[in-house]
Chains A and B, each alone.
Chain A
Amino acid sequence: MNTRSPIVVGLAIVLGIALIALSILYWVEPASSLPSIIPGHEAGSSHHHVKHGIASFLLGVALLIFAWFQTGKKDHADKTAA
């Protein structure tokens, strides 16, 4: 699991933050106010996609945890089973 590629780690951090930001958008904005490129956009709908927000948040946190492990000390990573 320890690929230690800076590109992979960078992508995980950027995507993780973006997904957490997206989750906040899902929670605070009704479906009609979401940008049309985002899944869940419905014109005229006042529904809040709470579950989409939770899914997005969990995925974002998972990516940040992945990046956290990947950027750990090398000597410890060598001893890990993951």
Chain B
Amino acid sequence: MIASTLITYGQAIVLGLLQGVTELFPISSLGHSVILPKLLGWDIHQNDPYFLSFLVATHLATAIVLLLFFWRDWVRIVKGLGRSLRDRGIGVDDTDAKLGWLLVVGTIPAGLLGLLLEHKLRAIFASPESAAIFLALNGVLLYGAELLRRRATRTETDDDARIARQVGFPQSAAVGAAQALALIPGFSRSGATMGGGLLVGLSHKDAARFAFLLATPIIGAAAILKLPELMGHQGDGVRGQALVGSLCSALSAYFAVRFLMRFFERKTLTPFAIYCLVAGTTCAIVIPFL
């Protein structure tokens, strides 16, 4: 089977643009990449090796965009981590070091769960029907996080200082572990982390910022880990489409992160919750008849 006959450049552009947006919006990129091909009648399936290779490239592009968008923050965070390792402790006012270790602690459970469960969960929940149902449930989770959220305390002017002050290590581990929900197509990684951030008392903007910082190493590491598959025989016939798709993904991811950082200055997760609930329920009803 020649992969280029299964994924066209047009499909690559649509899927790339979709991936960049849905990876960062709290609406599940994996769920959309399962549901959309089914709705459009494309013969693309979640567990096809060539499609996984294609997704690796688009994810890598998204991770690079996130890294570049928050580049100055990452430089400060890495310096903070180095400082704390040198001093064998985190200084009281060392916001960068505290934030860095919060990200490390949040990334470990998500990374471990991802490494150990990814294949099993994808194999079980790869169907568009289940993705649609989980997308609706993702809407319920987002709305639940809004209902249960603690009011953010406005004590610091600096974003990172507020996050470092408000989030503890156990809470960061819990929020990070919640990212593993996104291994199930339909649940959103950024939705889980933003929702978790709201529950520990972060504002919407800070929760979004923490979610994007937390997402960068996980998305990047997962993509780099699978990069050999794209370079190997699984990528034969799909590398051109993967390149086009990843450029589109990078473009849409850039505009998505810019949009969301402004959006969450004043708005909530509720519009995304409503979208997930409506889209998920509609697709769950429609898909069995396609």
Contacts and interface: CB of A to CB of B under 8 A. Distances in A.
B225 A54 contact: yes
Main SS class of interface, A: helix
Contact of A59 (B84, B94, B112, B225): B112
Contact of A82 (B90, B111, B115): B90
Nearest to B102: A82
Contacts, number: 54
Main SS class of interface, B: helix
Nearest to B107: A58
Contacts of B225: 51, 54
Contacts of A58: 108, 111-112
A26 to B, nearest CB: 11
Interface in B1-39: none
A2 B169 CA distance: 12
B59 interface: no
Contacts of B91: 79-81
Given A54-B225, A58-B108, A77 B89 contact: yes
Interface residues of A, number: 21
A62 B169 contact: no
Contacts of B112: 55, 58-59
Interface of A: 1-2, 51-52, 54-55, 58-59, 62, 65, 68-69, 71-73, 76-77, 79-82
A54 B108 contact: no
B100 to A, nearest CB: 11
Interface string B114-146: 011000000000000000000000000000000
